[in-house]
């Protein structure tokens, strides 16, 4: 897609999302201000602190994936890979999204070929969102009143089992090939090997990432909603984040994720005003935590380099 067309489409999606939010919240200025005043500063600070290890775990999974895609790689690349990945996640806020990936390819070129970096990102995105959608569905189903708790638990366990099966599979190349075949313009990556089988570690890292994510969201909801309603809100926010990935031309799904989330106010507890303030706080909190995690990983890499 031409760069000018990508910018136009991205700008249009952002404008439509913002327009939807403005329409949904028309005449709600006083309620929005009151929701902001009710924010618990301590809970917000703690949420950011919880999101930091979430990004570090995400980066560790990525570094592991790169390592397992080529067992002949140098053994001391993990710190540099972690740092490059987290830096690229900040760069992805630049309009076009692809800039974050290009940054990581360039930052990793002395350690990994571009096909391996692209393949690791594709693999991680697919596996992470498979788990995320399964757990999100398990959290949302009870809120609809149409599914018993045991079914929700079964969905969550099935998503965990599916991800673990992918990690343990002795022939992940087959699934990796099917994944690439389903995405246009990805034929060049077919020569990039998928991660080698490794039991438990990969699934454990992804599960820990999700737990940090859920705890951080619950901290931001603590003074706003009863505990029994938090699960559905967390699940719908996770689902909205996954659906927003379809807006590939929008930097980090800006405004699209929030519009999808607020649009589900009939499905989950909470008014549109509350959900918008919550979504904005989550966005700011995640960005702050991502920057902190990136700084810590980069500092650790440079400190170890001079030891």
Whether the predicted model's global pTM rises above the 0.85 cut: no
pLDDT attached to residue 20: 47
pLDDT attached to residue 261: 79
CA-CA-CA-CA torsion sign (58, 136, 127, 101):
negative
pLDDT attached to residue 107: 85
- Cβ atoms < 10 Å from Cβ of 39: 14
pLDDT attached to residue 194: 61
pLDDT attached to residue 10: 45
Residue ranges of the chain with per-residue pLDDT less than 70? 1-39, 70-75, 94-97, 170-197, 246-255, 264-271, 304-307
pLDDT attached to residue 262: 77
10 Å CB burial of residue 4 (0-12, 13-18, 19+) is: exposed
């Amino acid at each position: 897609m031409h760069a000018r067309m990508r910018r136009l489409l991205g700008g249009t999606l952002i404008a439509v999302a913002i327009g939807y939010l403005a329409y949904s919240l028309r005449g709600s200025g006083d309620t929005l201000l009151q929701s902001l005043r009710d924010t618990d500063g301590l809970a917000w600070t703690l949420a950011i602190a919880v999101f930091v290890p979430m990004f570090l775990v995400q980066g560790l999974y990525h570094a592991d994936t790169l390592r397992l895609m080529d067992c002949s790689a140098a053994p001391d690349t993990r710190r540099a890979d972690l740092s490059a990945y987290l830096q690229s996640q900040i760069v992805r806020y630049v309009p076009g999204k692809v800039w974050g990936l290009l940054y990581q390819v360039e930052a990793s070129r002395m350690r990994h070929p571009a096909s391996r970096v692209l393949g690791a990102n594709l693999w991680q995105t697919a596996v992470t969102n498979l788990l995320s959608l399964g757990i999100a569905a398990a959290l949302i189903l009870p809120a609809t009143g149409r599914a018993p708790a045991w079914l929700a638990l079964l969905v969550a366990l099935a998503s965990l089992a599916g991800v673990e099966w992918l990690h343990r599979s002795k022939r992940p190349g087959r699934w990796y090939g099917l994944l690439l075949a389903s995405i246009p313009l990805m034929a060049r990556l077919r020569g990039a090997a998928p991660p080698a089988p490794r039991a438990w570690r990969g699934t454990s890292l992804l599960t820990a990432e999700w737990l940090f994510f859920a705890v951080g969201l619950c901290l931001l909801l603590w003074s706003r909603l009863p505990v029994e309603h938090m699960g559905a809100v967390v699940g719908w926010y996770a689902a909205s984040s996954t659906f927003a990935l379809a807006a590939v031309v929008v930097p980090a799904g800006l405004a699209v994720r929030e519009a999808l989330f607020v649009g589900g106010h009939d499905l989950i507890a909470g008014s549109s005003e509350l959900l918008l303030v919550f979504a904005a706080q989550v966005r700011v909190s995640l960005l702050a935590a991502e920057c902190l995690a990136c700084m810590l990983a980069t500092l650790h890499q440079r400190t170890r380099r001079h030891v």
